[in-house]
Structure 1
Amino acid sequence: MVCGGFTCSKNALYSLNVVYMLVGLLLIAVAAWGKGYGTVSSIHIIGGVIAVGVFVLLIAVIGLITASSHHQVMLFFYMLILFLVFLFQFGVSCSCLAISMDQQGKLLNTSWSYMGDDTRQSLEQHLDCCGFLNTTASIEQFNKDINACTAECKVKKECSSCGDLMLQHSGKVLKILGGVGLFFSFTQIFGVWLAMRYRNQKDPRSNPSAFL
């Protein structure tokens, strides 16, 4: 069977959905790493990335099933859902790349303000830092956090502010998520085209007069 025929399209769709499974797992893993680190949990876009990863994983499973069965209705819904996932993933990826450091700082500062004292101290010990950001707007809170800080760096008097460390980490996570998501979002357009092409082809093992 020459490339471009039924078998080639089927194998290509199989391979593409295996890649989608890996991408979905990668998005979930990186986003979970970002949330588990405890510094970007307030950025709700991370939750959106996890949702995209789960959807991509489910779509990949559906794609593998439809590729093996060549079911017309399932292929149609697969193309439709894959296109919707492309739109959502493209938007979330662009948001990850577009969010500025100032916006990240505001979001993280809001989260820091709502944290309890125990949570702040636990995070300070985990990151080995004290306080959030030493700015005019939060100087009173910063001094309060410094006095209550129990991190090891306070003994050495070489503490960095937690805000700086959190911003560095959140920026790294968002760039990775945005870059990976944006790159692979365009492969989903190829997946829609490939599924459409595969759907309109006839299975050589079936009745040649049957409409597929």
Structure 2
Amino acid sequence: MTSETHKKSCPASAVYLLIINSLYLLLGIMVIAVVATAQGKVNVNLPAFGGIIAAWSLLVFVAFLGLYGTFGNKPGILFAYMILLGLLFLIQFSSSIAALSISSSQQQSLLESAWCGSSNATKGEIQRHGDCLGFYTNTTGINSCYGPVLEPEYCPRGCVTAQCTPDKPAKKAPTDQCEGCFDKLKPNLQRVLNTGGGVGLTFAFTMFVGIWAAWSHRRAKRAPATYREFL
């Protein structure tokens, strides 16, 4: 490779890496915001949510690493960028597959575990905002982990029962039966899993483009022969 070719190839690969990593930054921040917002609506913590958020947070860090390695002329940083991006692909791919492959029964088990592991305050907030009472419809045993939280401040305002009377007047005409919170949480959970998993799975494959671009840039820069020069 001549010196003239070397000078011409470097700017092209650098610009390509700039575009790729800027895309990673933008989409990473967007996905984290979307999943975190949706998780707040569901009001439960699930491993699939944490996996998606962790993977995309790492992607944002790796994108910064790629930009620094490219424009700081750090071949060692670029090599680390390639390795981390490859590992991130595995994490992103497995998390997305897990989110998409969760069956209805598994979703129910996850929500049951999350509900029973939540504090009464968390359950009460779900009841109040979701206009639901207890985990399942007609759950009456307050000593059961599936039972309702009966404090007036946590009673739903959209329905009235003999068990639970809200401390403030209803904003809309109440009904005489409250739906269980499971029926309110499940559609949100399914939507979040499908959206987060689908976007994550599609974007995971584009990480190969980033690895290829970094490899091309390092090759154009002629990787040093010694370990000291490499660093």
Instruction: Please give the TM-score of this superposition, normalised by the length of structure 2.
Output: 0.77
- Quote the Cα distance in structure 2 between the aligned partners of 1:116 and 1:142: 10
Larger helix share, 1 or 2: 1
| Residue 74 of structure 2 corresponds to residue 55 of structure 1 | no
Moved over 6 A (4+): 146-149
- Quote the Cα distance in structure 2 between the aligned partners of 1:11 and 1:70: 13
| Residue 100 of structure 2 corresponds to residue 97 of structure 1 | yes
Among 168, 178, 203, the alignment partner of 1:184 is 203
Greater Rg by CA: 2
- Quote the Cα distance in structure 2 between the aligned partners of 1:116 and 1:69: 49
Computed over aligned residues only, the root mean square deviation of the Cα atoms, in angstroms, reads 2.7
Q: Which runs of 5+ in 1 are unaligned?
A: 204-210
Report how far residue 139 of structure 1 moved.
6.8
Letter in 1 for 2:212: W
Among 122, 125, 143, the alignment partner of 1:122 is 125
Letter in 2 for 1:182: L
Report how far residue 36 of structure 1 moved.
2.0
Alignment match, 2:36: 32
The percent of aligned pairs where both chains have the same amino acid is 31
Alignment match, 2:164: none
Alignment match, 1:45: 48
User: How does 1:45-194 map onto structure 2 within 5 Å?
Assistant: 45-134=48-137, 140=141, 141=144, 144-145=147-148, 150-155=155-160, 156-157=174-175, 159-194=178-213
Letter in 1 for 2:117: Y
Q: How many residues align?
A: 201
Instruction: Please give the TM-score of this superposition, normalised by the length of structure 1.
Output: 0.84
Letter in 1 for 2:98: S
Q: Which runs of 5+ in 2 are unaligned?
A: 161-173, 223-228
- Quote the Cα distance in structure 1 between the aligned partners of 2:209 and 2:185: 37
